[in-house]
Copies of this chain bind each other. A is one copy, B any other.
Amino acid sequence: MDIYCLLFEDYETLDLMGPVEFLYRIPEARLHYVSFSGGMVKSRQGFRLETRPLSELEPCSLLLVPGGQGTRQLVGNKPFLTALAAWSAQAQTCLAVCTGSALLAAAGCLNALRATSNKKAFEWVKSVSPEVDWQPVARWVKDGKFYTSSGVSAGMDMTLGFIADAYGTALAEETALHTEYVWQRNPEVDLFAAHYGY
């Protein structure tokens, strides 16, 4: 499986690195670090990573979209959103972490679908698109080929959920065991929503 990690300036480090830690353990997974224009892309925490420009996805591939401060500008970037709509249409599966779901929403990919996002930024995310059936109480949500998670760390639970769905629970459990990760496997349990009044 080809896995495209879509980077942009000011993405949140753990939104990307948490899922990557698990995804690279899928047998025969090939990770690609890509961006709209290619070149060096810097995370919020200062990591500079070389990316190549994404044109077209291989068949049966996965698109991983992190969130972070950089999404605030990108939801108004038409050329980027047009490209994102095309990439997500080509992907077999899309995983969006935290405010990454705001990008998919702004690109129209989540219209009429259930989705979630970061709880601290939830009102902003909702304002990006009223066409989405936003779920305020969820660790992550799967609707069709789109997986969307709550903030930052929730992307790790969601990624293991995807691995369980696509490759079986045994691989998800083995991955959690080898990384000594305490997997919250119930997507409906959200320990953070209540703090924000949801």
Chain A contacts to B: CB under 8 angstroms = 12-14, 17-18, 20-21, 24, 31, 33, 45-50, 118-120, 150-154, 177-182, 184, 191-192, 195
Contacts and interface: CB of A to CB of B under 8 A. Distances in A.
A31 B49 contact: no
B195 A179 contact: no
B182 A195 contact: no
Contact of A119 (B21, B153, B180): B180
Nearest 5 A/B pairs, CB to CB: A17-B17, A151-B180, A14-B21, A153-B181, A152-B179
**Residue of A47, A49, A154 contacting most chain B CB atoms (<10 Å):** A47
- Kindly report how many copies of this chain are found in the complex they form together: 2
Of A21, A49, A120, most buried by chain B (CB within 10 Å of CB) is A21
5 contacts: A14-B17, A18-B18, A49-B49, A150-B180, A153-B182
A181 B150 CA distance: 10
Contact of A180 (B21, B48, B118, B181): B118
B48 A21 contact: no
A119 B181 CA distance: 12
Contacts of A21: 12-14, 17, 45, 152
Given A14-B17, A45-B31, A178 B151 contact: yes
A184 B153 CA distance: 13
